[in-house]
Structure 1
């Protein structure tokens, strides 16, 4: 069914995915409306965000990169990154990790307040009247040639499609699944479950005694791990992960109270981060904190008819890998790319998109992104099991033998392989920033020059060497994987 109404995207959720998608649509004169449930577009929820080259490249296309750099006031985000054992002792150190990434990929690694990125994305939107707060989405209906989105206050908004960018507890996904089960039984797998293996204390601290600014720490443990990173304004961002006694699924996944958080801190306050700083030292200087379960999932189906989910509502990895927001940006970019190709095929107009055309757009979006989202999910999960010593002999072998032998070149090569296949906005230029290793979509095979071949070759050799060591380790011990 087609509609004579102009093309309009209803975006449920004004988080990173929703605001980024609005920025992208605006760049190409595509109409949209954001429906955000909070009373403000950048609520102080006390979370940090880690941006890597694959996400920063897209933000650079949108004109947001310089504003992100300004957050750091010209300071180098990270002077070094340490991997530490459960006693806080250094296992390995990478000097100038952010600088190394920037030299290789054009962008470094940046940890800062999630609220700040929301502000930057919102400030970059020209048509702010299209961003509505206090509009919590509660339902979605399919109508002839479009959708109708209902909010908690009773307001209703029509559109051509709806994008659920409303997180892991997505109202859009719930509505989409209910519609699918009613209109096309069997479309969604009734056996599909969302697992939770870990809980996580995360938050923001400031002016922590003994903390060395400009450092990042990945700390191993028995049944737990930590990621603690420096930020601007002498801030410290922490994540402490603790394995649940057993894997929980769906409605059995626990919700935690402030009393649960207090008990978690009491048990872990003396756990070292470095030789001189404990988890309790950081938590004691907290600005904000939360204890939350960690859902890990890439759904089999991201869409139904005129409804699609992106970001955490479609693919949510463990945050230890740092790719949640970066992956959300990639998915938004791919959706916009696919819409633009459709507009071009239709002679420059999107009015009257049929259900079949919309399904083609969504199918191309998911097929382009699904495998990569699963790769990121698995890498983050395996990293978590490794750092939490779920297989103690395997983790010992990796941290005591494999990692020191492979060196930092293997880590950089592994990251290069992850970044290489990243998506971008096809219709916007990427600002010129020097980099030694281009992304896959920047290097047509015929234009490979000798320097590029050499750099990629080195990355390949480094990856092979590290991979051989990894295979040896995996043969000797049972490699932990998702779903064990």
Structure 2
């Protein structure tokens, strides 16, 4: 299992912002921008208002108390360094910042602590696991964890009116073992997505800029399905009468999922000679904008 994880680590930082009246924006338009070592995500608000995140790779990875805290001067300098980055045609980072109504620069801590409880104290959500916000799973992880913990505690008080210390710790251990690996997978997946969008390596740049467009939404959807149904429904509440788009855990078609996994493995295998040829030819592309 490796050495215990006692601290969160940080390899990226991000500016979260809200802007209004930005030129060249269409109502309800979302878009992303990719650059080497940084990426941008923009989502629409009311009218032509925009929520955006600018994510930047740090010069070095830090942990625990060494993770920096940023000032407004740090934020202004970071924007000045990359103000000319084109996030979509006609819109730069400088444009977003100039029209911003609120911004904050924060370190993006990530990781899953090896232990989430002590005696009768237990951690839930970001106090136990933190993920890069790119995949939007932080809140979902907290909700799914709280639901799992609720179930094990309800089981416990149904068995014991006044639970013993040993019983409480056993319930917390169940929660830790049940949600820990799932949370770790989501944290690692978010970090991998960030590395891909920040074009961290030559291979990731090649894949993102040249090949990702050929993956069908259906394949991506089937691969993402298990991520979104990793939580369990509350035992003591009835299931929804109407099925959702993503099946409840255990209802995913395993045959289809296995087939798609095989297809993607073959696809990745075929990338190797293509990538080598691309690299040897010295073809490079330093930036890309994808419209959603």
TM-score (norm 2): 0.85
User: In the TM superposition, what is the alpha-carbon distance from 1:316 to its structure 2 partner?
Assistant: 0.1
Q: Does 1:391 align with 2:168?
A: no
Cα distance in structure 2, aligned partners of 1:253 and 1:360: 33
CA-based RMSD: 2.4
Task: Map residues 321-336 of structure 1 onto 2, 5 A cutoff.
Answer: 321-336=135-150
1:202 aligns to 2:29 (yes or no): no
User: In 1, distance between residues paired with 2:47 and 2:215?
Assistant: 35
Measure how far apart 1:343 and its partner are: 2.1
Residues 46-84 of structure 1: CA distance to partner in whole angstroms, max 9, x if unpaired?
A: xxxxxxxxxxxxxxxxxxxxxxxxxxxxxxxxxxxxxxx
Question: How do residues 171-186 of structure 1 correspond to structure 2 at under 5 angstroms?
Answer: none
Structure 1 residues 362 and 259: alpha-carbon distance in aligned structure 2, compared to 1, 3 A threshold: same
Asked if the contact 1:334–1:365 (Cα under 8 Å) also holds between the matched residues in 2, the reply is: yes
Superposed CA offset, 1:211-269 (max 9, x none): 12323223211011111111345431111111111111222211110111111111122
Deviations 1:108-156 (A, max 9, x none): xxxxxxxxxxxxxxxxxxxxxxxxxxxxxxxxxxxxxxxxxxxxxxxxx
3-state SS, counterpart of residue 395 of structure 1: helix
- 1:414 counterpart = 2:228: no
Q: Which residue of 2 aligns with 1:470?
A: 268
Out of 145, 148, 163, the residue aligned to residue 353 of structure 1 is: 163
CA distance in 2, matches of 1:395, 1:307: 44
Within a 5 Å distance, the mapping from 1:288-327 to structure 2 comes to 288-327=102-141
Stretches of 4+ moved more than 4 A in 1?
Answer: 456-460, 471-477
- Cα offset for 1:203? 1.8
Is 1:461 aligned to 2:259, yes or no? yes
Match status 1:370 vs 2:180:
yes
Taking structure 1 as the reference length, the TM-score comes to: 0.53
Segments of 5+ residues of structure 1 without an aligned counterpart are 1-187, 444-451, 478-484
Conserved 8 A contact 1:394-1:473? no
Structure 1 residue aligned with 2:240: 431
What is the Cα deviation at residue 358 of structure 1? 0.9
The aligned runs of 1:72-151 (5 Å cut-off) are none
Pick closer, same or farther for the CA change 1:319–1:437 going to 2, 3 Å: closer
State the alpha-carbon separation in 2 of the partners of residues 279 and 471 from structure 1.
37
Indicate conservation of the 8 Å contact 1:195/1:250, yes or no.
yes
Distance 2:187 2:241 in 1: 30
Residue 290 of structure 2 corresponds to: none
Deviation of 1:459 (Å): 4.7
Matches within 5 A, 1:218-367: 218-346=32-160, 349=161, 352-367=162-177
| C-alpha separation in 2, matches of 1:398 and 1:470 | 13
Q: Secondary structure at the match of 2:266?
A: helix
